[in-house]
Amino acid sequence: MTGTHHGNRYGRSEEARQAVLHAADDLLVERGFAGVTIEGVAARAGVAKQTIYRWWSSKVDILLDTLIDDMAKELTPRDHGDVSRDLRAHLHKVALFLTRADAGAVFRALVGHAQHDPAMAARLRADYLSQQRARDRIPLERAVERGELSSETDIEVALDELLGPVHYRVLVTGEPVPRKFTDHLVDQFLVRYGTGRG
Amino acid sequence: MTGTHHGNRYGRSEEARQAVLHAADDLLVERGFAGVTIEGVAARAGVAKQTIYRWWSSKVDILLDTLIDDMAKELTPRDHGDVSRDLRAHLHKVALFLTRADAGAVFRALVGHAQHDPAMAARLRADYLSQQRARDRIPLERAVERGELSSETDIEVALDELLGPVHYRVLVTGEPVPRKFTDHLVDQFLVRYGTGRG
Amino acid sequence: MTGTHHGNRYGRSEEARQAVLHAADDLLVERGFAGVTIEGVAARAGVAKQTIYRWWSSKVDILLDTLIDDMAKELTPRDHGDVSRDLRAHLHKVALFLTRADAGAVFRALVGHAQHDPAMAARLRADYLSQQRARDRIPLERAVERGELSSETDIEVALDELLGPVHYRVLVTGEPVPRKFTDHLVDQFLVRYGTGRG
Amino acid sequence: MTGTHHGNRYGRSEEARQAVLHAADDLLVERGFAGVTIEGVAARAGVAKQTIYRWWSSKVDILLDTLIDDMAKELTPRDHGDVSRDLRAHLHKVALFLTRADAGAVFRALVGHAQHDPAMAARLRADYLSQQRARDRIPLERAVERGELSSETDIEVALDELLGPVHYRVLVTGEPVPRKFTDHLVDQFLVRYGTGRG
DNA sequence: TATTAACCGAGACGGTACGTCGAGTCTTACG
DNA sequence: CGTAAGACTCGACGTACCGTCTCGGTTAATA
């Protein structure tokens, strides 16, 4: 009746999964968060609504799925052998990620939605942000190992000082986040905490 | 409302306005952002939907109306005669405001929604956040006048360094924002920028 | 936003009501009972689904509304001054009604559905069929008054004998119900029950 | 079903067939016609939907399968040697069958559905009702042979006069069909058509 | 005895329609 | 003119079944 189907007892259709994720992503970028509807995603993906509801609980759930890959892929810090270069590079990557159209848009939309939905906020933090937080720690932990930072540095607070201003600009003031700004944050941070050996 | 409606040939009903604002506020706290609907507000306020649409353009518009008074009232910094005490007090007040149930909930909800709605975000920044930003500048400008901060201090960047971590915790990580944290931010800031005269 | 609306505090839109009834009727005739869907009726009538649900509880409810006028209009027996002519005329009208495309189709569909839905069956009998039954009694009661039938005639049973075979053909065997057949039923009936004065 | 399924190269599983028929029958009695769904039958019978679609074209097709045995079994008239007793007995059996919960429910449901589906109605008449009609003729044909009825009797019309009122009560008015009523129908019929020898 | 084709259960798939909710618009009667 | 009331169109929600299409495993006639 309907053309080609891909039912399969042992496992879902990867084709349908990809179509849904891409459709949701596209709609978010094109029409914004309110423009992402289950009905719209289904239509655009060429998929039945029921198929979406079978695997995702809400449009937020879909967007989380689109986010997780990107974040790990784009935001894993590399080792440049030097705390300053590590931090400058990582903070810049974070800024680029947050302000870029596609993946950053998903992140902003989800953090925005989290303000309206405590349960989803808890899940976002437990499943996604904590992973990112772990990646963010890496440059600082390496710096402590290298002796570039005191071993008594409060890394949690340090992360807030470095990442806080970047997210604040993105989420609240809407100011751009140029490289100069992130570099400045790193420099100020090292002035205070660095051992002078870095 | 009193049960009887109140036509008024010369001007709008202040009674209706207050009922709407309170109903919206109550619903936000009780049921969250999604629980605030025009229909629900109208029913709760004992007001016709049309009356709401006549004076507000959306539920976000109503919530903005509830926010503006509170922010000016609660977040105007006092002068303690000393940059450290000024900043510590102000940052603490900001943290309290953001994390408190009612007014902070409205703020978080609106910033959350702004992530989904660029036009509303622009308006939020132009009409509300810029006013708050001006209030936030006061302690720093006073410190420059007093000579406690160099006159070359980039106040915009300084604000981002002070307020950014606070908003980051509130909006992203969900960590609490204790006085110890805000005090630490101020201390670190003054270590770097202070003239030593403060 | 949508063109012309006709909201009105004091009363529903007669225009919408008529459009719904006609659309339902048309769909029934064109596509059969299964082809009558709330969604389809709404689309065809140019009416919102919500408007239908506001005034009718189901598609059956709509069809009942289309039926009631027709039945009273078409099946009220006239007085020909003679039991034989009265009954022949009435039975023929019933047969025509039942076998005709539009109104008869509605009747058949509803009686068919009543077989699946005891609650609806009860309502159909209480609100519609009993009215028709009352109309069907008229010729027989007149005949008793005229002395053409014994006053001891069991009118209920008589009605079953006259109307039963007609409905049986329509609903069960699908045989046509020609005038010859209905006339024969009347003749046989009068042979048995008539006083010979008719 | 036993929990293990039973592939069979040459021929279908009688076990599955019975499970489906019983499940359909049970669901019809418990939840009515609308409560009979292919999914529900499959689940209840412990059978795959595909197995149902392999052997039946629709839920109506399943119910027809449950009907055919019962009708032949229960509605074959016996020979009492006398037209009056033959007809009284047969008409009473028909009335019992139609008004009883299980088999009668299936019959009523199918006749009801036939009002909505002309193709199914044609099939119902061709495959089932015509067989029943043949059985219904038997007592009358025997009576003609015996000389109890004139050989010129129009048996088709006679059947409508006898069976029509019974079906009318069952399908339309919902009145009970007591023995007194069926006996009366037979008596009236014989008054008119009998040769007086019966 | 091993092969293998028809049947079986399970269940994912693309769809249609369901009945509900809220959005934003429009009309009315009243004060 | 502003108000309460509420009917209107519209879009999306999440659910139930539809009928189709694999999939991996079972069974029994045949090679």
Distance D138 CA to F11 C1' (A): 62
User: What are the beta bridge partners of residue D194?
Assistant: D149
| Window 3-62 of chain A: CB closer than 7 A to strand E | 3, 5-9, 11-13, 16-17, 46-51, 54-55
Alpha-carbon Rg for chain D, nearest whole angstrom, is 20
pLDDT in tens, C129-153: 999 999 999 999 999 999 999 999 9
CB C132 within 8 A of CB C93: no
pLDDT band at residue B197 under the 50/70/90 scheme: low
Q: What is the pLDDT of residue B3?
A: 43
Distance C56 CA to E20 C1' (A): 15
Distance A49 CA to F14 C1' (A): 9
pLDDT band at residue D12 under the 50/70/90 scheme: confident
Report the range out of A100-109, A114-123, C96-105 with the highest average pLDDT. Answer: A114-123
Residue of B113, B122, B163 with shortest CB distance to A168: B163
User: Where are chain A's structural domains?
Assistant: 7-58, 74-193
Alpha-carbon Rg for chain A, nearest whole angstrom, is 20
Chains in contact with A via at least 3 Cβ–Cβ pairs below 8 Å: B
Q: How far is CA C55 from CA C13, C51, C52, C61, in A?
A: 11, 7, 6, 9
**Chains C and B physically touch (3 or more Cβ atom pairs below 8 Å):** no
Amino acid identity of C125? R
> D166–C164: do the CB atoms touch at under 8 Å?
yes
pLDDT band at residue B6 under the 50/70/90 scheme: low
Q: What is the pLDDT of residue B42?
A: 97
| D7-58 placed in CATH 1.10.10.60 | yes
pLDDT band at residue C192 under the 50/70/90 scheme: confident
Q: What is the pLDDT of residue B125?
A: 94
> B171–A34: do the CB atoms touch at under 8 Å?
no
Residue B11 has pLDDT above 90, yes or no: no
> A34–B117: do the CB atoms touch at under 8 Å?
yes
List, as one string, the DSSP characters of C136-195. HHHHHHHHHHHTSB-TT--HHHHHHHHHHHHHHIIIII-----HHHHHHHHHHHHHHHB-
Nucleotides of F under 7 A from a protein CB: 1-29
Residue D177 has pLDDT above 90, yes or no: yes
Amino acid identity of B112? G
D157, two tokens: 């019309």
Contacts of D111 in chain C (CB under 8 A): 112, 115, 171-172
* Average pLDDT taken over every residue of chain D: 92
Q: What is the pLDDT of residue A197?
A: 55
User: What are the beta bridge partners of residue C194?
Assistant: C149
User: What are the beta bridge partners of residue A194?
Assistant: A149
Which residue numbers of D have CB closer than 8 Å to C's CBs?
32-34, 108-109, 111-118, 121-122, 125, 129, 133, 157, 160-161, 163-169, 171-175, 181, 184-185, 188, 191-192
Residue with tokens 């905490």: A193
pLDDT in tens, D107-157: 999 999 999 999 999 999 998 999 999 999 999 999 999 999 999 999 999
C197, two tokens: 């004065």
- Least Cα distance to D37 among D59, D67, D9 occurs for D59
pLDDT band at residue D71 under the 50/70/90 scheme: confident
CB D139 within 8 A of CB D87: yes
Distance B115 CA to F3 C1' (A): 35
**Cα–Cα dist B112/B60, whole Å:** 11
Largest distance between two CA atoms of chain D = 65
Indicate the angle between helix axes A130-146 and A155-168, nearest 10 degrees: 130
> D109–C115: do the CB atoms touch at under 8 Å?
yes
Amino acid identity of A93? K
**Cα–Cα dist A106/A36, whole Å:** 11
- To the nearest whole Å, the CA of D82 is away from the closest chain C CA by 22
**Cα–Cα dist D28/D13, whole Å:** 23
Residue D38 has pLDDT above 90, yes or no: yes
Residue A80 has pLDDT above 90, yes or no: yes
Choose from D125, D168, D184 for mutation: most chain C CBs within 10 A.
D168
- To the nearest whole Å, the CA of A94 is away from the closest chain B CA by 14
- Least Cα distance to C106 among B2, D116, B82, B29 occurs for D116
**Cα–Cα dist D161/D144, whole Å:** 17
Lowest mean pLDDT among B11-20, B35-44, C50-59: B11-20
Cβ neighbours around B56 below 10 Å, total? 20
| Window 51-70 of chain D: CB closer than 7 A to strand E | 51, 54-55
Residue of B nearest to A187 (CA): B192
Distance A118 CA to E19 C1' (A): 29
Contacts of B121 in chain A (CB under 8 A): 174
Residue A189 has pLDDT above 70, yes or no: yes
Distance A53 CA to F14 C1' (A): 8
Helices (H), D2-37: 14-31
pTM of the model: 0.89
Residue of A32, A167, A181 with shortest CB distance to B117: A32
- Least Cα distance to A104 among A17, A29, A3 occurs for A29
Residue of A108, A181, A192 with shortest CB distance to B188: A192
pLDDT band at residue D179 under the 50/70/90 scheme: very high
**CATH classification code of A74-193:** 1.10.357.10
- To the nearest whole Å, the CA of C115 is away from the closest chain D CA by 5
Residue of A109, A185, A192 with shortest CB distance to B115: A109
**Better-scored residue on pLDDT, C102 or C4:** C102
Residue C2 has pLDDT above 50, yes or no: no
User: What are the beta bridge partners of residue B149?
Assistant: B194
Contacts 24+ apart (CB under 8 A), C130-139: C131/C71, C131/C72, C132/C71, C132/C75, C133/C159, C133/D173, C135/C72, C135/C75, C135/C76, C135/C77, C136/C75, C136/C77, C136/C90, C136/C94, C136/C163, C138/C77, C139/C77, C139/C83, C139/C86, C139/C87, C139/C90
> B116–A114: do the CB atoms touch at under 8 Å?
no
**Cα–Cα dist C115/C33, whole Å:** 14
